[in-house]
Chains A and B, each alone.
Chain A
Amino acid sequence: MRGGVSLRYGVLVLLAVMVLVPFAGIILAALHPPGSQLNGLSIPDQWSWENFTLAWERGNMTALMRSSLLIAAFVVPLSVVLATLAGYGLAILRVWGHRTLSFGFVMGLTLPMELIVVALYFNLREVGLTNSYVGIILAEAALFMPFGVYWMQTHFSSVPEELVEAARIDGARDLVVLARVLVPISWPAITTLSVLYLMWSWNQFMLVLVMMQDPDRRTAPSGLGLFVGEHTTDIPLLAAACLIVIAPIVVVYLLFQRSFVSGITQGAIKG
Chain B
Amino acid sequence: MARELTSSVSPPRAAEARDGGRAAPGHARPPHWRGRRARGWFYVLPALAVYLGFAIWPALNTLRLSLLTWDGILPPTWAGLDNYVEIFQDSALYEAILHSLVLIIFFSFIPICVGLLMTALLMGKVRRGMTFFRVVFFLPQVLPLVAVGITWRWLYSDSGVVNQFLDAVGLGAITRAWLGDYQLALIALGLIGTWVMSGLCMMLFLAGAQKIDSSLYEAAKLDGAGAFRQFRHVTLPGVRREITVAGVITTIAALASFDLVFVTTNGGPAGQTNVPGLLVYRLAFNEGDIGGASALAVVLTVIVVAVVSAVRYFTREDES
Question: Could you list which residues of chain A lie within 8 angstroms of chain B, going by C-beta atoms?
Answer: 4, 8, 11-12, 15-16, 18-23, 25-26, 29, 37-41, 82-83, 85-86, 88-91, 93-96, 98-99, 101-102, 105, 108, 110-123, 138-139, 141-143, 145-146, 148-149, 153-155, 157-158, 161, 168-169, 171, 173-174, 188-189, 192, 199, 202-203, 205-206, 209-210, 220-222, 224-225, 228, 235, 238-239, 241-242, 245-246, 249-250, 253-254, 257, 260-262, 264-266, 268-271
Q: Show 23 residue pairs from A and B whose CB-CB distance is below 8 angstroms, ordered by the A residue.
A: A15-B117, A18-B195, A22-B161, A22-B195, A40-B163, A90-B44, A91-B11, A95-B41, A99-B15, A112-B301, A114-B256, A115-B297, A143-B54, A168-B30, A203-B145, A205-B146, A221-B144, A242-B150, A242-B151, A245-B144, A245-B146, A266-B207, A270-B10
Q: Which residues of B contact A222 (CB under 8 A)?
A: 146
Report if A112-B300 is in contact (Cβ < 8 Å); known contacts: A83-B47, A101-B48, A145-B47.
yes
Asked whether A141 and B50 contact (CB < 8 A) given A19-B139, A93-B43, the answer is: yes
Q: Which residues of B contact A189 (CB under 8 A)?
A: 1, 5
Could you count the A-B residue pairs with CB atoms below 8 Å apart for me: how many are there? 339
Chain B 145-162 against A: per-residue CB contact (8 Å), 1 yes, 0 no?
111101111110001110
A174 in contact with B43 (CB, 8 Å): yes
Contacts of B118 in A (CB 8 A): 12, 15
SS of B interface (majority): helix
Residue among B12, B139, B165, B277 with most chain A CB within 10 A: B139
Q: Which of B132, B137, B145, B150 has the most CB of A within 10 A?
A: B150
Which residues of B are found within 8 Å of A11, using beta-carbon distances? 117, 121
Sort chain B's interface into a size bin. 35 or more
**B54, A141: Cβ atoms closer than 8 Å:** yes
The residue from A153, A206, A249 contacting B143, defined by CB atoms under 8 A apart: A249
A112 touches B164 (CB 8 A): no
Residues of A within 8 A of B163 (CB): 40
Contact at B135–A111, with CB atoms within 8 Å? no
Assess the B151–A25 pair: CB atoms within 8 A: yes
Report which of B18, B58, B142 forms a contact with A161, defined as CB distance below 8 A.
Answer: B18
Q: Using Cβ atoms and an 8 Å threshold, which residues of chain A touch B58?
A: 116-120, 123
> Which residue of chain A lies nearest to B5 when distances are taken between CB atoms in the complex?
A266
Q: Is the CB of A257 within 8 A of B51?
A: no
> In whole angstroms, how far apart are the Cα atoms of A25 and B44 in the complex?
48
Smallest CB-CB separation from A88: which chain B residue? B43
Indicate if B57 sits at the interface (CB-CB under 8 A): yes
Which residues of B does A touch, CB under 8 Å? Answer: 1-2, 4-6, 8-12, 14-15, 17-19, 21, 29-30, 32-33, 36-44, 46-48, 50-51, 53-62, 64-65, 72, 114, 117-118, 121-122, 129, 132-148, 150-155, 159-161, 163-165, 195, 199-200, 203-204, 206-208, 227, 241-242, 245-246, 248-249, 252, 255-256, 258-259, 262-263, 276-277, 280-281, 284-285, 290, 293-294, 296-298, 300-301, 304-305, 308
Q: Is the CB of A12 within 8 A of B144?
A: no
